[in-house]
Amino acid sequence: MEPALIEWREDFRIGLPEVDQEHRELIDAINRLHRELVVGASIGRVTGALGDIHAAISSHFALEEKDMQALHYAEFEAHKREHERLLDEILDIIDDVTASGSYDPQVLSSRLADWFTGHFRTFDARLHRWLAARH
Amino acid sequence: MSLRGLLRVPFDGLDRFCARAFPPAWNPMAQLGAIGWFLFWIVTVSGIYLYVFFDTGVAGTWRSIEAITHDQWWAGGVMRSLHRYASDAMVVMVLVHLSREWAMDRMRGNHWFAWATGVPLILFIYVCGITGYWLVWDARAQYVAVASAQLLDALPIFGEPIGRNFLDQASVSDRFFTLMVYLHIAAPLLMLLFMWIHIARHARAKVAPARGLGAVILLTLTALSLAWPALSEPPADLDRMPEAVPLDWFYLGAYPVMEKWGAAAVWLGLAGLFALLWLLPWLPPRRTPPAAKVDLGNCNGCARCFADCPFGAISLAPRSDGRSYEQEAVVHPEQCMACGICVGSCPTATPMRSAPDFVAGIELPDRLLAALRREVQAAASGLAGDDRVIVFACEHGAAADAAGGNAARIALPCVGMLPPPFMDWILSRGLADGVMLAGCAAGDCHFRLGDRWTAERIAGQRDPWLRERVPRERIGVSWAARGDRGQREADLAAFRARLPALPAMARGEKRERAPARPFARRAWPKPLQWGAWAGVFGALAFGTGALASWPDLRLLQPDEAVISLSLRHAAHTRVECQPLTPEELMKLKPNMRRQVGCPRQRWPVYVELLRDGFVLYQGQHQPAGLWNDGPSTVLERIVVPAGRQALTVRLRDSGREQGFDHERRIEADLAPAQNFVIEFRGGQWSLRP
C-alpha cells in the first residue's frame, strides 16, 4: 500500500482537543485523496474530494478561529488571513484541475502536502507556543 | 385584494419615494423603531428638565409652567415644546411603524413576539400623554381630568366616582396631583421596560437612527418648538366649564368620541381595536415555514450561525452526540423566522462538495442546498452567450423577473441565505457570466441584516469570506424595495450590459479582496432631494404642530352653563331592625345571638332634577357593595341654558312608591359657563358655589 502522504506527528498538536482531533481527520482525508491520486482517479472524483476537503477545512478553520478569539489570541488577525489564503489556495487547486482536465499525481500530492505542513510549521506552531506559554 | 395588500400600496409608494429622496442610511422607513427610541429620549431629557422647575400642587402648577414657558422661553419653553411635539411625533411613528409591519406581514408566525409586545406599548404611550396633559392644570387639563374621570367611572372598577375629585374648585386635592406626577414618571419607566422586551428577540436591534437623520429630526422639532411654542390655556377653574379647549388630537382623540357617543362606546371601540390588533398574528392565514435544522454530522460548533442569526434563534450548547467537540449549534424553533441567513454563514455550505445530496451543518428543510445546487445547474444549462446571469432573488424585495431571456431567477427567502461559495462555484465553473443578488432595499432587509451580512461576506469583512480571486465585477448586488422595480430593472440591465466587456476570469491573477461594486442609485438630483426632505419634514412638523392644538373641541355654546348633580348617599335599609323570635335565635351560633336582627340591604336612591317643571334628569341608583349595603352614588353633568331658572331637585331613599324624602326648590341665576353644583350632603341638598 502507498505510504501516507502526511504522518501525524506529536508536534502537530496545538493543545485544543477539538482542533487537534479535526487536524487528524483532515490528515486522513488528504492521505485518502493521495492514495486515489496515485491510482489515477477521475477528474470529477478528485475535484469532488478536494471540494469535501475544502468544506472540512473551512469549518475546521472556523472552529479554530472561534477558539482563538475566545482565548484572545494575540496574532489572531494574521492567523485568520493565513486561513483565508489557504482556503483560497485549495479553490485555486480545484480550478486548476478543473480547467486543465488533468493532473500530475506527484505534483498535486506534494502541493497538498506543502500546503498542509507549511501552515503547521508556521502559524499553528506559533499558536501552540502561545497556548503553552499561557499556562 | 386583501386588507394587507391594500395597506402595501401606500407603503410601496413610500418606499420608492424614500429610495429616490434619501441615502440608504437615512431611509426613515427602514428605521421607524429606532426613530421611536430617539423620540423617547428627547421626551425623557426634556421631561427631566421640566421636572426641575415644575411645582406639584393645585395652586403652583400652572404658574410654574407659565414661568418655564415665558421667563426662559429659549430653554424651558423650547424644552416644553420639544416634550410635547416629540411625544406627538412618537404617535405618528407608532402608527406608521405598526401599519408598515402589518403591511409587510411581519407579525405572523414567530414574528408574533415583537408584535404582541409592541401593541401594549401604545397603551403606555397614552397613559404618559394623558397624564402629561393633566399636569399642566390649565383649562385643557381640567377638561382632560373631568373627561378622563368620566371615562374611568364608566368602568366597574372604582367604588366611588373619581369624577367627584373634580366636582368643583374646592374638591381638587394636592394629593391627587402627586399621584398624577407619580403616574407620569412611572408609566414611561414601565414603557422603557416594555420597549426593551419589544426588541429582546432581535440581535443587534437598531435603537438609534442614523446620526444625520436624528439630527434633522431634532432640528425639525426644535424649529417647530420655536415657531409654534406649546402654550397653556388659562388656569383650570372647576367652578367654570371651558367653552372650548384646543385638543391634542394625537393623544386626546378619543374624548370627542366620548362626548358624542358616550364612554361605553369608547371603551368598546378601544377594546375591540386592541383585541384585534393584538390577536392579528394568530388570525388566519397562518404562515409558519419550518425552522432551520442543525445536522450534527456537519456541525463542529464553530458559532458562525450563532453570530449571524438576526433573531437570536441559535444558541451554542454542550455537545450531545459524543464527538470530541465542545459545542454544537441549537436552533430554537419558536424564534426562527426561516430566513436562511444561518445557512449562508455555515462553512460546510459549499456546492463543491461531492455527495449529490450533501447536507450543510445548518439548513432550511424547505430550501435544501443540494436541491439549490441542482436548480442552479438546470438554470445554467438554459443560458447561452456572454451575458448569462443567475439572479438570486429575495422573495421580499422588488421583483427580479429575468426579462430578456438570458437571466435565470432563483428565489430565496433572503439573499443572505446564499453561501459565498455558491457565487464562487457558479463563476469559476463558468455556469454563468454573472451572479446577481437581488435583495430588499439597503438597510431594510425583510428579516434584518441579510443585506449587510451579504455585502460584508463578499468584501471579506465577515465569515465566510468570498475567495479573493472571484471577480467582484461579476457579482451584481442590487438592493431595491418591493415597490421599487425601476431600480431593480435598471440594475439588472446595467449588470448584463457590463458583463461581455469584462476580462475572462483569469487563474492565478492577484486581486484585492474587495466589496462588490454597487449599482448607481436612481436617486433624484440633489436639489430635488433637498426639496423632498424639506417637504417631508416640513409636512411632518406642520401636521404635528397643527394637530397638537387644533381644531378645538367645543364643550359649551356661549350662552350655556353646566349643572353638576352629585351625591353619595346611603338609603334606608329595606327591612327595619326587629327583635328575633326564640326559634330564630336558636338557629344562630351562640356567639352570634343578638336580640335584634338587622338585614343590611338598602333601598336604591331615586333622583330627579327638574327645570321649570320639565325633567332634566332622573335615575335610580343601586347601593354599592356585594350585599347592596353601601351608598348609592350619582355624578351627572347637565348642560342648560344660562340665566334665571327654577330648579327642583328631589330624591327618594326609603323605598316609597310615591312622593319624595328630600326635596329642594332652587331659584338660580346661572352665568354663562358656570359650573353649578347641586350636592346631597349631610342629609340635605346643598348648593355650590
User: Which residue in B287, B342, B490 sits closest to B403, CA to CA?
Assistant: B490
The reply to whether residue A91 touches residue B428, judged by beta carbons under 8 angstroms, is yes
Q: What pLDDT, on the 0 to 100 scale, is given for residue B510? A: 65
* Residues B516 and B442 sit within 8 Å (Cβ to Cβ): no
For the segment B246-297, what is each residue's pLDDT rounded down to a tens digit? 999 999 999 999 999 999 999 999 999 999 999 999 988 777 899 999 999 9
| pLDDT over 90 (residue B402) | no
> Cβ neighbours of residue A86 under 8 Å, at least 6 residues apart?
A57, A61, A115, A119
User: Which chain B residue lies closest to A68 (C-alpha atoms)?
Assistant: B302
The reply to whether residue B302 touches residue A55, judged by beta carbons under 8 angstroms, is no
Q: Which CATH class is domain A17-134?
A: mainly alpha
| pLDDT over 70 (residue B380) | yes
For the segment B3-19, what is each residue's pLDDT rounded down to a tens digit? 888 999 999 999 999 99
State the residue for C-alpha cell 401606500: B10
User: Which residue in B514, B519, B466 sits closest to B496, CA to CA?
Assistant: B519
For the segment B192-207, what is each residue's pLDDT rounded down to a tens digit? 999 999 999 999 999 9
pLDDT bin (cut points 50, 70, 90) of residue B509 is low
Burial (CB count <10 Å: 0-12, 13-18, 19+), residue B436: buried
Q: Which fold has domain B560-688?
A: Immunoglobulin-like (2.60.40)
Pick among B348, B354, B469, B507 to test the A interface (most A CBs inside 10 A): B354
| Residues carrying CATH 3.30.70.20, chain B | 293-498
Q: Distance between CA atoms of B159 and B141, rounded to whole angstroms?
A: 24
Q: Which residues in chain A have their CB less than 8 angstroms from residue B352's CB?
A: 47-48, 50-51, 54-55, 91, 94
Residue B178: beta bridge partners? none
Measured in residues, chain B has a length of 689
| pLDDT over 80 (residue B390) | yes
Q: Which residues in chain A have their CB less than 8 angstroms from residue B298's CB?
A: 59
Cβ-nearest to A54 among B301, B325, B352: B352
> Cβ neighbours of residue B157 under 8 Å, at least 6 residues apart?
none
Backbone torsions φ then ψ of B245, nearest 5 degrees: -125, 140
* Residues B545 and B487 sit within 8 Å (Cβ to Cβ): no
Q: What pLDDT, on the 0 to 100 scale, is given for residue B417? A: 98
Q: What pLDDT, on the 0 to 100 scale, is given for residue B397? A: 92
> Looking at this protein, which amino acid is placed at residue B360?
A
Q: DSSP label at B75?
A: I
Q: Is the dihedral of CA B354, B359, B362, B367 positive or negative?
A: positive
Whether the bond between B689 and the residue before it is cis, its omega within 30 degrees of 0, is yes
Q: Rounded to whole angstroms, what are the CA distances from B498 to B314, B342, B388, B423, B607?
A: 40, 32, 11, 18, 88
Cβ-nearest to B354 among A52, A66, A96: A52
User: Which chain B residue lies closest to A98 (C-alpha atoms)?
Assistant: B429
Q: Distance between CA atoms of B680 and B663, rounded to whole angstroms?
A: 10
Chain-wide mean pLDDT for chain B? 93
Q: DSSP label at B405?
A: S
Cβ-nearest to B348 among A48, A55, A98: A55
Q: Which residue has the higher pLDDT, B526 or A115?
A: B526
Q: What pLDDT, on the 0 to 100 scale, is given for residue B278? A: 95
Arithmetic mean of pLDDT, B442-456: 95
**Torsion angle defined by CA atoms of residues B379, B383, B389 and B390, in that order, rounded to the nearest 10 degrees:** 0
Pick among B300, B316, B426 to test the A interface (most A CBs inside 10 A): B300
| pLDDT over 80 (residue A75) | yes
For the segment B43-85, what is each residue's pLDDT rounded down to a tens digit? 999 999 999 999 988 888 999 999 999 999 999 999 999 999 9
Cβ-nearest to B353 among A55, A87, A98: A55
Q: What pLDDT, on the 0 to 100 scale, is given for residue B404? A: 62
Residue B568: beta bridge partners? B633
pLDDT bin (cut points 50, 70, 90) of residue A121 is confident
> Looking at this protein, which amino acid is placed at residue A16?
L
- Please measure the distance between the N-terminal and C-terminal CA atoms of chain A and give it in whole angstroms: 42
CB atoms within 10 A of CB B83: 22
| Residues carrying CATH 2.60.40, chain B | 560-688
User: Which H or E run includes B353?
Assistant: none
Q: Distance between CA atoms of B130 and B135, rounded to whole angstroms?
A: 9
Question: Residue A62: helix, strand or coil by DSSP?
Answer: helix
User: Which residue in B199, B94, B369 sits closest to B361, CA to CA?
Assistant: B369
Distance of residue B430 Cα from the nearest chain A Cα, in angstroms: 10
Measured in residues, chain A has a length of 135
Q: What pLDDT, on the 0 to 100 scale, is given for residue A119? A: 82
Is the domain B293-498 a CATH 3.40.50.970 member? no
Q: Which residues in chain A have their CB less than 8 angstroms from residue B303's CB?
A: 62, 66
State the residue for C-alpha cell 335565635: B585
pLDDT bin (cut points 50, 70, 90) of residue B170 is confident
Q: Distance between CA atoms of B587 and B565, rounded to whole angstroms?
A: 45
> Looking at this protein, which amino acid is placed at residue B340?
G
Q: Rounded to whole angstroms, what are the CA distances from B126 to B47, B119, B344?
A: 16, 12, 43
> Cβ neighbours of residue B630 under 8 Å, at least 6 residues apart?
B159, B570, B602, B623, B624
Cell of B277: 390588533
> Cβ neighbours of residue B616 under 8 Å, at least 6 residues apart?
B563, B609, B610, B638, B640
| pLDDT over 80 (residue B505) | no
- Helix extents (H) in B280-368: 304-308, 341-345
Q: What pLDDT, on the 0 to 100 scale, is given for residue B253? A: 95
Q: Distance between CA atoms of B197 and A105, rounded to whole angstroms?
A: 60
Q: Which residues in chain B have their CB less than 8 angstroms from residue A24's CB?
A: none
pLDDT bin (cut points 50, 70, 90) of residue A7 is confident
| pLDDT over 90 (residue B164) | no
Pick among A89, A91, A100 to test the B interface (most B CBs inside 10 A): A91
Q: Distance between CA atoms of A82 and A126, rounded to whole angstroms?
A: 13
Q: Which fold has domain B32-282?
A: Cytochrome Bc1 Complex; Chain C (1.20.810)
| pLDDT over 80 (residue B689) | no
CB atoms within 10 A of CB B627: 11
Backbone torsions φ then ψ of B48, nearest 5 degrees: -65, -40
For the segment B624-656, what is each residue's pLDDT rounded down to a tens digit? 888 888 999 999 999 999 999 999 999 999 999
Residue B410: beta bridge partners? B392
State the residue for C-alpha cell 502536502: A113
HEC letters along B272-289: HHHHHHHHHHHCCCCCCC
Q: Which residue has the higher pLDDT, A117 or B48?
A: B48
Q: Rounded to whole angstroms, what are the CA distances from B426 to B230, B347, B469, B584, B625?
A: 62, 17, 13, 99, 79
Q: What pLDDT, on the 0 to 100 scale, is given for residue B508? A: 56
For the segment B27-42, what is each residue's pLDDT rounded down to a tens digit? 999 999 999 999 999 9
The reply to whether residue B508 touches residue A92, judged by beta carbons under 8 angstroms, is yes
Cβ-nearest to B353 among A51, A66, A91: A51
Residues 66-105 of A with CB under 8 A from B: 66, 84, 87-88, 91-92, 94-96, 98-99
Per-domain boundaries in chain A: 17-134
Q: What pLDDT, on the 0 to 100 scale, is given for residue B268? A: 97
User: Which residue in B126, B127, B145 sits closest to B245, CA to CA?
Assistant: B145
For the segment B584-607, what is each residue's pLDDT rounded down to a tens digit? 888 888 888 888 888 889 999 999
Pick among B294, B306, B316, B324 to test the A interface (most A CBs inside 10 A): B324
Q: Which residues in chain A have their CB less than 8 angstroms from residue B373's CB?
A: none
Q: What pLDDT, on the 0 to 100 scale, is given for residue B21? A: 96
Classify each residue of B124-156 as buried b or exposed e, where b means 16 or more C-beta atoms within 10 Å of its C-beta.
Answer: bbbbbbbbbbbbbbbbbbbbbbbbbbbbebbee
Classify each residue of B228-260 as buried b or exposed e, where b means 16 or more C-beta atoms within 10 Å of its C-beta.
Answer: bbbbbbebbebbbbbebbbbbbbbbebbbebbe
| pLDDT over 70 (residue A115) | yes
**Structure ipTM:** 0.95
